[in-house]
Structures are given as structure tokens and as C-alpha cells.
Structure 1
Amino acid sequence: MTLKEKVNKDFIQARKDKDTLKADVLRLIKTEYDSFLIDNKREMTEAEEIHVFLKDIKKTNEAIAFAKQVERKDLIEENQKKLAILEAYVPKMMDEREVRFFLAENGVAEMPLKDAMKFSMQVLDGKADKALVSKIIKELLAK
């Protein structure tokens, strides 16, 4: 079952269960899928589907940070629930230790910055946070 099929199935189930938050979150994802199909005249690849979720996860994390600044507990709770729904659809991201190990194993420290970034972003795309990968590469090359 593709990610898009899973989203559609879960959306229907959320509507049946009257889980409005989950239905709303999945409706937004479905809308992005449909917009992509109209704009590009093709279905999304699995990597592109995951990027839709990663983009929404990033926005939700930003909303949580803002809600914490203005001390809005209701918004924090709602966005944390939304975040849990979104994270259930993406593969587990690599943590800092795993990214460091991967980069060390592949000799990224000996590459020029441009090549290291290009290689790492292609291989780790959707598997690790891009900002984390960039930070670690810059640290390795600074030594």
C-alpha cells in the first residue's frame, strides 16, 4: 500500500470515527497531493509524498515554538497532537549519532564542501533532518 493509499484509507476512517483533527490534517495532505497532480500532471513519487509530510512537520514544529513563546497551552497541545499524526506517516529520522556515523563511514570529511553536501543530501534525503546534516558536515570540514 502506497503512502497516498494509506492517507486516503485513514482519512475515511477518521471521518467515520469523527476524529476531526486527524481528518483535517489528512485533508490538507490530500489537498497537497491533488495540487501536485494538477500542477505536474503526474502522481508523486514516494520521496515526494514523504516531503509533503516533512514540510508539514516543520511548520507544526514552528507553530509549537511560537505557541510556547506566547504561552498558549491550548495551541501547544493541539499542535503536538497534529505533530503525532504527521510523524506516524514518515519513517523514523536518523539521530545525530547515526548521521555522524554515516558521514564518517562515507568519507565526507575528505570531500570539498559542495561535494559533501550534494552527496549527503541525495543519500540522506527524507532520512535525516537537512539542517542537522549540514551542521555536522560543516563541523567535520572545519577540523
Structure 2
Amino acid sequence: MTMKEQINKDFIQARKNKETLKIDVLRIIKSHFDAYKIDNGRDMDETEEINYLLKEQKQTEEAISFAEEAKRADLIEENQEKLKIISAYLPQMMTKEEIHTYLSEKGISEMAMKDAMKISMSELDGKADKKVISQVVRELLGK
């Protein structure tokens, strides 16, 4: 079952269970997927779906930080629940050690920074946090 199919199924179930926050979060995700299809004439591939959810996850984490600064417990709780819903659809990201091993096997340490970043980002897109990938590439290149 694709991620889009799973989200549609969970959206229907959430409506039956009257889970308003989950309905709202899944509706936003579904509408983005549908808008992408209309704009591009095709469904998102798995990597594009993951990257969109990672973007939503990051925005929600930022919202939690702002709510903490404002001492708004209600917003903190709501955004933490939203984060749990989004995270449920994301695959387990690679650890720093796994990224290091993978890139070492690819011979990244022998490349120029530009080439190393290009290859690393394209091959690990949607499988690992981009910030961690960048950090590991810099370590391997000694920069």
C-alpha cells in the first residue's frame, strides 16, 4: 500500500472516529498531494512524499519551539500531537553512523565537495536528514 493510499484510508477512519486534529492534519497532506497531481500531471513519487512530510515535520517542530517561547501549553500539546501524526507516515531515517558507512563505501572521501554533496544528497534523499548528510560529508572530506 502506498503512502497516499494509507493516508486516504486513515483519513476515512479518522472521520468515522471523529478525530478532529487527525482529520485536519491528513486533510492538509491529502490536499497537497492532490494539488501536486493537478499541477504536475502525475502523482508524487515516494521520495517526494517523504520530503513533503519531512518539511511538515520541521515546520511543526518550529511551531512547538515558538509555542514554548510564548509559554502556550495548549499550542505545544496540539503541535506535539500533530507531530506524532506526521511522524507515523515517515520511514525510519538513517543514523549518522549508517550514513557514514554508506558514504565511505561510495568513496565520497576521494571526491570534491561539490560532487560529494551532489551524489550524497541524491542517493540519500528521503532516507536521511539532509543536515546530518551534510555534516557526515564534511567529516569525510576533513572540512
Residue type of the alignment partner of 1:32: H
Q: How many angstroms apart in 1 are the aligned matches of 2:7 and 2:56?
A: 14
Which residue is equivalent to 1:127? 127
**Pairwise CA distance, 1:100:** 1.8
Which residue is equivalent to 1:114? 114
**Pairwise CA distance, 1:117:** 0.6
Aligned residues: 143
Which residue is equivalent to 2:43? 43
Which residue is equivalent to 1:77? 77
Residue type of the alignment partner of 1:104: S
Q: CA RMSD in A?
A: 1.3
**Pairwise CA distance, 1:139:** 2.4
Describe the superposition over 1:93-138 as per-residue Cα deviations: whole angstroms up to 9, x where unpaired: 1122222222222221111111111111111110100011112212
**Pairwise CA distance, 1:35:** 0.8
Q: How many angstroms apart in 1 are the aligned matches of 2:32 and 2:82?
A: 17
Which residue is equivalent to 1:68? 68
Q: Runs ≥4 in structure 1, deviation > 4 angstroms?
A: none
Residue type of the alignment partner of 2:21: L
**Pairwise CA distance, 1:140:** 2.2
Residue type of the alignment partner of 2:88: A
**Pairwise CA distance, 1:71:** 2.2
Q: How many angstroms apart in 2 are the aligned matches of 1:40 and 1:87?
A: 26
Q: Mean Cα displacement is larger for which, 14-23 or 49-58?
A: 49-58
Q: How many angstroms apart in 1 are the aligned matches of 2:117 and 2:18?
A: 45
Q: How many angstroms apart in 2 are the aligned matches of 1:103 and 1:12?
A: 41
**Pairwise CA distance, 1:73:** 2.1
Describe the superposition over 1:39-87 as per-residue Cα deviations: whole angstroms up to 9, x where unpaired: 1111111221222211111111111122222222222221111111111
Task: In structure 1, list runs of 5 or more residues that go unmatched.
Answer: none
Q: How many angstroms apart in 1 are the aligned matches of 2:62 and 2:33?
A: 22
Residue type of the alignment partner of 2:102: F
Residue type of the alignment partner of 1:126: G
Which residue is equivalent to 1:93? 93
Q: Mean Cα displacement is larger for which, 120-129 or 63-72?
A: 63-72
